[in-house]
Amino acid sequence: MKALTKKIQPFIEAQYPVIYIHSYEELKVNEVIKELAEGTIDEWNLTKPESLIDFLEPYVLGTESLNEVLIVLKDAHSFLDKQHPENQKIVAMLKNIVHKISSEEEAYANIIIVSPILKIPEELEKYIAVFNVDFPSFDEIKRFVLEYAESYDETISETELNRLSTYLKGLTESEINILLNMALQQDGRLGGHDDEQLILDEKKQIIKKSGILEMIDTKESLDDIGGLENLKIWLKKKSEVFKNIKQASEYGVDIPKGVFIVGMPGCGKSLTAKAAAICFDNIPLLRLDIGRLMGKYVGESEANMRKAIAQAEAISPSILWIDEIEKAFTGIGKGGGGSEVATRLFGSFLTWMQEKNSEVFVIATANDISNLPPELLRKGRFDEVFFVDFPTEKERKDIFKVHIRNRKKDKSHVDSVDLASLASKTEGYSGADIEMAVKETIEEAFIAKKEIATTEDYLHTIKDMISISEMLSEQIQYYKEKKDELKIKPASK
């Protein structure tokens, strides 16, 4: 918490009227407030017998001094909601106190709002500085674990300590303490492999409950992707840097920023994001749904973005996967409902990508690139932009092979199928189309009680299918023209 104290201290000294500490770690924030206070701490929370209005009134009337006092408000976020019946009066009272702090010579005070929920009334937006509590660093987590182990007379090796601390990255101190309790209760010791799985399972739940990020399980490797050789070779090179980041940095190599994969739907963009996590030495894969960032209060969306980025960086090395990014940032700067919030989010995201030096590899995917802001495609944000087209005949053959092989325990089954014939009959098919053809063929063969699905069975299914390139022909032609115009690197050879 010392880092948070250092961040807030200049704002206190400059008499910034309102400090909003956005955190669940209330007990730790209490320590920060004590360190910041040079005079009186006057705290209100819902357990107090007086109402918030009664608490604020003496400061409004001037009967309570604003000299050397921190006015701390807890449990106040509901009163800042426009739907609350007392909202207008409370916001007006806060604004009155803010004006006194800003204008009166004798006033040396700050309002500190502490809440796990960020709600900023528009009337107070210009007077509020928002701070998030950073997640503990790797070294801090190691210290927590060691202190915990010592308190229970537990011994833990350096290897176990490092491994356990790595799994605990991206969690608050209170969450870490709960998980250590659970790990100790599980088998009576710390550092076992069962602890890692327990922490991983609980961590997924904690991240999921945040409502912004989701930790994705993945078993797919790059070998499970048919085609996209240029993209796969590029990812393997970046993974070598990521796996040896310390040596690479000493050599003068930059930390990889990420890749933007655009192109046809159903052609392996999402699968590539999942496989990259395995390729990068099984690092955590976090999916960000930008739609979930949008909040209805001023500053809430940006705070959610900061929270998501902070969590991804705390868990690093990690992959942050932003799926269908065009849904959030298409048409930036063209006005319309919500465009101002989207523009601010876009600016925050670009700034982070430009300045990022953390071990978070960003994979953004998009189908429709027609109206994406050009800044998103510019070098310096992502290391590379790839276009995923419909698979070539050779790639279609590889994709058929992958899907047929993976659906049968007897891997030799694929040798009895004429893959070249299937590939030649599926021009314009996406990888998803091919997967569906394989799925339906094997299902029909099972129902017909056949020993195996034959080449003729696959061809019969293909004959009755309509590919996505036929369904969306005009739209797809436009995508290809846009790709040529932007000179985006092809993912396939």
Distance CA 143, CA 134 (A): 16
pLDDT band at 297 (very low <50, low <70, confident <90, very high): low
Q: What percent of the chain has pLDDT over 90?
A: 31
Asked if the model's pLDDT at residue 296 lies above 70, the reply is: no
Which pLDDT value is given to residue 27?
85
Asked if the model's pLDDT at residue 377 lies above 80, the reply is: no
CATH dotted code for 2-132:
3.40.50.300
As given in the structure block, the two tokens for residue 58 are 């003496």
pLDDT digits (tens, 9 = 90+) for 304-357: 888 888 888 888 888 999 988 877 776 565 544 446 777 777 888 888 888 888
Which pLDDT value is given to residue 336?
46
Spatial contact of 438 and 400, defined as CB atoms under 8 Å apart: yes
CA-closest candidate to residue 374, choices 488, 492, 235: 488
Q: What is the mean pLDDT of residues 59-86?
A: 92
Distance CA 80, CA 56 (A): 14
Kindly report the pTM of this predicted structure.
0.72
Q: What is the mean pLDDT of residues 424-433?
A: 90
- Residue identified by tokens 């209490």 is 30
Range 45-76 burial, b when 16+ CB lie within 10 A, else e: eeeeeeebeebbeebbeeebbbeebbbbbbeb
β 384-388/360-366 pair status: unpaired
Range 268-307 burial, b when 16+ CB lie within 10 A, else e: bbbbbbbbbbbbbeebbbbbbbbeebebebbbbbbbbbbb
User: Bigger pLDDT: 58 or 196?
Assistant: 58
Sign of CA dihedral 352, 353, 357, 359: positive
pLDDT band at 420 (very low <50, low <70, confident <90, very high): very high
Judged by DSSP in three states, 489 sits in strand
Q: What percent of the chain has pLDDT over 70?
A: 95
Q: What is the dihedral of CA 365, 371, 377, 382, to 10 degrees?
A: -30
Asked if the model's pLDDT at residue 227 lies above 90, the reply is: no
Which pLDDT value is given to residue 104?
87
Distance CA 156, CA 303 (A): 38
pLDDT digits (tens, 9 = 90+) for 249-293: 889 988 899 999 988 878 888 889 999 999 988 888 999 877 777
User: Quick one: fold of 222-388?
Assistant: Rossmann fold (3.40.50)
- Residue identified by tokens 């008499």 is 15
pLDDT digits (tens, 9 = 90+) for 144-183: 999 888 888 888 888 888 888 888 888 888 888 888 888 8
Rounded to the nearest 5 degrees, what angle is found at the Cα of 11, between the Cα atoms of 10 and 16? 150
Distance CA 114, CA 481 (A): 52
Q: What is the mean pLDDT of residues 28-56?
A: 93
Q: What is the dihedral of CA 276, 280, 285, 288, to 10 degrees?
A: -70
Please check whether the two domains, 222-388 and 393-470, share a CATH topology: no
Asked if the model's pLDDT at residue 137 lies above 90, the reply is: no
CA atoms within 13 A on the CB side of 359: 19
- Residue identified by tokens 């080449």 is 455
Judged by DSSP in three states, 249 sits in helix
- Chain mean pLDDT for the chain: 85
Which pLDDT value is given to residue 337?
44
Asked if the model's pLDDT at residue 89 lies above 70, the reply is: yes
Asked if the model's pLDDT at residue 231 lies above 90, the reply is: yes
Highest mean pLDDT among 115-129, 179-193, 202-216: 115-129
Asked if the model's pLDDT at residue 86 lies above 90, the reply is: yes
Domain ranges, ordered by start, for the chain: 2-132, 138-209, 222-388, 393-470
Which pLDDT value is given to residue 338?
46
Kindly report which listed range (12-16, 121-125, 355-359, 385-389) carries the lowest average pLDDT score. Answer: 355-359
User: What is the amino acid identity at position 301?
Assistant: S
User: Quick one: fold of 393-470?
Assistant: Helicase, Ruva Protein; domain 3 (1.10.8)
